[in-house]
Structure 1
Amino acid sequence: MPHITLEYSDNLPDQPDFRALFAELHQALVSLGDVQVNDIKSRAIKLTDWYAGDGNPRHAFVHLKLYFINRRTDEFKRRALAVMQPIVAAHYATSLNERDCQLCFELVDIQGDYYAKIVSN
């Protein structure tokens, strides 16, 4: 923990290098403190079944969800969301210029009592 899930519509002109994008996001989170790089997991999900606004095919979106165990302060959460926005925007610059594109960011608190993981040796 934390986890990053990046969902995106399949009509975006950008094809980011997700390894590079996630490496930048991981480093940005680590720079805030209280986050260990090896605890961060990220994944991208290309959406083929979606509908945005009035259905205009120029509409496009990226929705990033950042999951944390609910022990972080509100200030930390605001900083985490703020530090990620310019990174994602840079990787989707063409989409922002050529489409009616929205980049959305959401932070999800997970109750620590209800989160578990098993780690290999």
Structure 2
Amino acid sequence: MPHLVLEYSSNVRDSFDPTAVLAEIHTALSATGGFRPQDFKSRALRLDTYAVGDGSREQSFANLDVRTFAGKSPENRAAIAEAALAVLTRAFARTMSETSCDISVQVTELDRASYARARSEHA
């Protein structure tokens, strides 16, 4: 834990390496959120089918969902969101300056009682 899901519209203008951006977010959240780097499970999804607003102008977006177990304080969750947002605004700087772009981060708390997983212990 945590799981990071980055979704972004296919019209972003930045040439970015999703793996590198996720790694930078891992570093930022390890320092801010108290996560261990080896516990991140992250993925980035480029969305070719999407709708933003009324479609009357070029609009783009990126959204990061940080899924973690419940128990972090509201201040800690806010710090996690702000740290991730800082990375994403740098990663999508060109898109932010050339389009109407929304970048958002949400911290979703998972209930331990309803979370199940199987883990392999292979090295």
- How many residue pairs match? The answer is 121
Q: Any unmatched runs of 5+ in structure 2?
A: none
SS of residue in 2 equivalent to 1:16: coil
Moved more, 5-14 or 26-35: 26-35
User: Given the two structures, how large is their TM-score scaled by the length of structure 1?
Assistant: 0.93
Root-mean-square deviation (CA, aligned residues, Å) is: 1.2
1:8 aligns with 2:43: no
Q: Show CA shifts across 1:13-71 (max 9, x none).
A: 11311111011100111112531111111111111111111113511111111111112
- AA of the residue aligned to 2:67: Y
What's the % identity of the aligned pairs? 29
Query: In 1, Cα distance between the equivalents of 2:34 and 2:66?
Result: 15
Q: Any unmatched runs of 5+ in structure 1?
A: none
- AA of the residue aligned to 1:4: L
2:8·2:63 contact (CA, 8 Å) conserved in 1?
yes
Misfit runs of 4+, over 6 Å: none
SS of residue in 2 equivalent to 1:119: coil
1:62 aligns with 2:62: yes
Q: In the TM superposition, what are the counterparts of 1:14-93 in structure 2 within 5 Å? A: 14-32=14-32, 34-93=34-93
User: Given the two structures, how large is their TM-score scaled by the length of structure 2?
Assistant: 0.92
SS of residue in 1 equivalent to 2:119: coil
